Structures are given as C-alpha cells and as structure tokens.
Amino acid sequence: MRISTLALLVFLAACNSDPAPDMQLNDKEAAATSEDKCLGVNAEFGDAGYRKCWYDAAEESRQRVLKALARNGLEAAEADAEWEEIRQTNELARALDPSHVEALKKSQQAWEEYVDAQCVLEGYRALGGTAEPGFVSQCRDRLNLQRLAELRSPFIIEAQRDETLPEE
C-alpha cells in the first residue's frame, strides 16, 4: 500500500513530541558543532571515526529537515484549503490551479536529486579512497542545513497567503 506524501507529512508532524527540535541550534552553530566534533574525532579515532562522525551529523541534519518539511507540509495543506475557498468565489482564482502541497513536494524532490548528485561530485575528491564517504557525508550535512534554512523561510507559505485577489 502506498501512503501519500501529505499523509506521511501529517504523520511525521503528529509524531514529533518536541515542538521545535530543529530550532535548538541555528544553522551556523550546528555546522560549527559538527565540524568541531568531527575534526576532534579524526584526531582521536582516525579515518573510520571521522567518516562515522560525518555520517551521523548528516543523518541528524536530515532528520531536522524532515521535521521542518512535515511542518511546512501542514502549512501548505492549510494554504491549499484557504486557496480553495477563494476559488469558490473568484473567477480569476478558478482559472489558476496552485497547489502548495504539490509545489513543496516538487521542490523537495528536486532538492533531493541535487543533493545526491552534488555530494557524489564532492566525494570524487577522494574517489575510491577511505575519505570519500566522509566527504559525501560532510556535503550532505552542509546541504541539509541549507535546506533547513530554506524550509524555515516564512515567505514559502506566508507570502502566498498575503497575496489577495481583487473582489469580483
């Protein structure tokens, strides 16, 4: 059985007992913390520890992105419902077919494809070497933190709500 993306987003948001775990550190603090921690691990535990540290940092930042995405998915669904109400009474609005949820899903899919390609490219610095997975994980952590900042941006949903169509 295939679960819709929106249903998954709603489920993830509902399961999140911590109200704002991705807000505990700002993005620069999180990046600095990962870098400081992982450089220290490299000195103490060598390459394997370094790779594991960056893998864990990338996974942690990925989870923060998923939680922010779930919240944005709920906001997008609310915005779609508001837009549907406007469409009921406004001919111009009926001619348009915006879906905040679909736009968010499309944006996330494109971002995930970009991350995969970009991080493989960055891993090529050590192609086939023991450092390659570390470079890939480091890239994923950095891009996850960038995506988190994008998902936090209030203009994604709020700016669209502020645009009102003229009354007919």
pLDDT tens digits, one per residue of 27-66: 666 666 788 788 777 666 778 888 899 999 999 999 999 9
Q: Is the pLDDT of residue 18 over 60?
A: no
pLDDT in tens, 141-164: 999 999 999 988 765 555 444 444
Q: How far apart are CA 30 and CA 33, in angstroms?
A: 5
Q: How far apart are CA 71 and CA 39, in angstroms?
A: 33
The distance from CA 97 to its chain's CA centroid, rounded to whole angstroms, is 25
Per the structure block, which two tokens stand in for 94? Answer: 């009926």
Q: Tokens 């609310």, residue?
A: 78
Q: Can you give the pTM of this predicted structure? A: 0.64
Q: Does residue 155 or residue 132 have the better pLDDT?
A: 132
Count the residues in the chain: 168
* Burial grade of 102 (CB within 10 A; 0-12, 13-18, 19 or more): middle
